[in-house]
Amino acid sequence: MSTVEQSSIDRGEDKRSRRWHILVFLLPALIVYTAVMILPLIETLRLSLFNVKDGQSVFVGLGNFNVLFGDPRWAASFWNALRNNFVFFLIHMLVQNPIGVALAALLSVPKLRFGAFYRTAMFLPTLLSFVIVGFIWKLILSPIWGVSPYLLDLVGLKSIFSPWLGKPSSALITVSLISVWQYIGIPMMLIYAAMLNIPDEVLEAAECDGVTGWSQFWKIKLPLILPAIGIISILTFVGNFNAFDLIYTVQGALAGPDGSTDILGTLLYRTFFGFQLQIGDRSMGATIATVMFLIILSGVCLYLFAIQRRMRRYQF
Amino acid sequence: MAKPTASPLRTGLVHLALGAYTLIALFPVFLVVINSFKDRASIFRDPLGLPTPATFSLIGYNTVLTQGDFVLYFQNSFIVTAVSIFFVLLFGAMAAFALSEYRFKGNTMMGLYLALGIMIPIRLGTVAILQGMVAAGLVNTLTALILVYTAQGLPLAVFILTEFMRTVSDDLKNAGRIDGLSEYSIFFRLVLPLIRPAMATVAVFTMIPIWNDLWFPLILAPSDATKTVTLGSQVFIGQFVTNWNAVLAALTLAILPVLVLYLIFSRQLIRGITSGAVK
């Protein structure tokens, strides 16, 4: 391995020509990571170019992608899942991040009492597993139990209740909001941390200039926490485009009703393993995984090269 | 002591907003826990009431403990999580030490290569991972899960620990070298004890997704003997879906360990997040 070759500028004292200890330190992580993560990923990308014909694995080029995007058996469910996935992401961006920013802004009010208690409590749902979160909300929203109509009745809104999870028109929004409820702790914490890092002198200077309250938030704090919001957006993007667990728990592998909550993760699961009458299809599974990989990769690249570089960073 | 801008009214509104959201965050969990201790009739008649001696019932827990194999599931989850964290921390710290301490050709490339996995989810390689595990005969073993979770946790661990290791003083390490310590003893005896706080942060970050994962247990180890508690409760609740006592009790049992650990480690976790470990 060329990585262990001696370089002329040596930080350590030893001047032996081969420094085996570097290899020893690196190797375990490198082997596990490469063998279990990188190679399977490459192999999955490769498999997406092959398909089984007459029991033989044949190279089909982009044929699988053509089938996925164009063949009537696949295209409808693929485009449906992709569209739902974008809605899923959009709801997170529009609901989770603004509420997260607002909560962080409130938490960073100076000399706030019970701050630690609020933080601890609001972060709790993030730690629960999807299974717990999914079933809790399934029970609460269930018309059989009647907790939500009862609660809505207390605030005079009983008339708006309907079995939201069971209706194709509202199921996706409901599932997205459950996911928002679970994950709001992450944007809240990261932005809270970014706000703590704003030096007091900057805020004091603003106050001397008469910039306080709302205008202080919009003009001073918000520009300073934009990098944190950027990181949260890309984390949300990656998380949403490989989401699976919550939908599987709440709506089952068929992502009902009528496929209205189907996203790429559930589609991948059904395609690869099969479900009920559908037989598992390895090549098409790999194809969907490749599409998810390309979507996530382009999101990450867009963030790294377009957004992060243009973002102004302030040095104090 | 209040700053001139903080009027009592404003402070009151801040507490009102934060209190309201705290209620939204905690209420669903609270509702499930209190109802798991009630008999079936009062779950439906009075879902918001606390269990009273008249309505108290452990029938749900009875069903869970006799029908489900929850002790085994907990044991599986515990083994998988603990062993994975151990390897993530050990291998991650070793690689981070190599990257931060030595200059060698390809150091930066190696760092980038290992950081790839922070953004690209390991789940996308599932098709080939399953194939590989079948070929290696590891399907339905905890080893398969441990391998996957170790690979999944390493990128972030290496990234965070490299940043921390750069802050360890060179003088200390060089003093160790002059005293004739080998590079291995410098790592294990000097550096590791110093980065313990960072290791704790990494451990917490690694633990949560592993304990909560449903995807890989479902695909790699769905057999009865290897179910983790997340998959176990998913299957159990799916089977007992109309038995509300059992479902509520199973949920409470699944929440409990997370809750206890969180109350113990919440300071550590929140300090880890807010100290800029994820900058």
- pLDDT beyond 50 at A1: no
pLDDT the model gives residue A18: 62
Q: Are residues A43 and B28, on separate chains, in Cβ contact within 8 Å?
A: no
B57, B81, B97 - which closes a domain: B57
pLDDT digits (tens, 9 = 90+) for A163-218: 888 888 899 999 999 999 999 988 998 888 888 888 888 888 888 888 877 888 88
B57, B78, B96 - which closes a domain: B57
Question: Complex ipTM, two decimals?
Answer: 0.85
Same domain, yes or no: B52 and B73: no
Paired strand residues for A50: A59
Half-sphere exposure of A144 (CA within 13 A, CB side): 12
pLDDT the model gives residue A72: 85
- pLDDT beyond 50 at A158: yes
Same domain, yes or no: B208 and B79: yes
CATH, residue B139: 1.10.3720.10
Same domain, yes or no: B15 and B91: no
Q: In terms of CA atoms, which chain A residue is nearest residue B278?
A: A190
- DSSP, res B4: T
* A65-310 is classed CATH 3.10.20.740: no
Looking at per-residue pLDDT, the higher value among B275 and A86 belongs to: A86
pLDDT digits (tens, 9 = 90+) for A257-295: 888 999 999 999 999 888 777 778 888 999 999 999 999
Q: Characterize A117-134 residue by residue with b for buried, 16 or more Cβ atoms within 10 angstroms of its Cβ, and e for exposed.
A: ebbbbbbbbbbbbbbbbb
Phi, psi (degrees; rounded to nearest 5) at B78: -65, -45
Q: Which of A161, A113, A123 is nearest to A140 (CA)?
A: A161
Q: Which of A122, A41, A32 is nearest to A296 (CA)?
A: A41
Torsion angle (degrees, nearest 10) of CA B1, B5, B6, B10: 170
Same domain, yes or no: B139 and B265: yes
Q: Is A245 exposed, middle or buried (0-12, 13-18, 19+ CB in 10 A)?
A: buried
Same domain, yes or no: B39 and B127: no
Q: Are residues A106 and B116, on separate chains, in Cβ contact within 8 Å?
A: no
**Domain range summary for chain A, segments of one domain joined by +:** 2-47, 65-310
Integer angstrom CA distances of residue A51 from A39, A72, A271, A286: 20, 18, 14, 10
pLDDT level of residue A60 (50, 70, 90 thresholds): confident
Q: Of A9, A41, A264, which to mutate for an interface test with B (greatest number of B Cβ within 10 Å)?
A: A41
Cβ atoms B63, B246 nearer than 8 A: yes
Q: In terms of CA atoms, which chain B residue is nearest residue A34?
A: B151
Q: Are residues A145 and B44, on separate chains, in Cβ contact within 8 Å?
A: yes
pLDDT the model gives residue A102: 93
Q: In terms of CA atoms, which chain A residue is nearest residue B16?
A: A106
Cα four-point dihedral sign B110, B116, B118, B124: negative
Same domain, yes or no: B211 and B157: yes
Chain A residues touching residue B155 (CB < 8 angstroms):
33
Mean pLDDT of chain A: 85
Same domain, yes or no: B42 and B174: no
- B222 within domain boundaries: yes
Same domain, yes or no: B74 and B14: no
- pLDDT beyond 70 at A11: no
pLDDT the model gives residue B90: 96
pLDDT the model gives residue A313: 65
Q: Which of B103, B225, B224, B119 is nearest to B170 (CA)?
A: B103
pLDDT the model gives residue A4: 44
Same domain, yes or no: B102 and B233: yes
Residue pairs spanning A and B at CB distance below 8 A:
275
For chain B, what is the domain count?
2
Q: Are residues B120 and A121, on separate chains, in Cβ contact within 8 Å?
A: no
Q: Which of A45, A270, A44 is nearest to B126 (CA)?
A: A44
**Mean pLDDT across A146-171:** 82
Same domain, yes or no: B111 and B231: yes
Smallest CA–CA distance, residue A222 to chain B, in Å, is: 17
Same domain, yes or no: B27 and B150: no
Interface of A with B in 198-227 (CB under 8 A): 207, 212-213
Stretches in chain B below the pLDDT threshold 50: 1-3, 277-279
Q: Are residues A111 and B270, on separate chains, in Cβ contact within 8 Å?
A: no
- pLDDT beyond 90 at A62: no
Q: Rounded to 5 degrees, what angle do the CA atoms B164, B209, A224 make?
A: 55
Which of B14, B177, B237 is facing A106, going by the closest CB pair? Answer: B14
- B1 within domain boundaries: no
- B21 within domain boundaries: yes
Residues spanned by the domain of B267: 63-277
Same domain, yes or no: B15 and B137: no
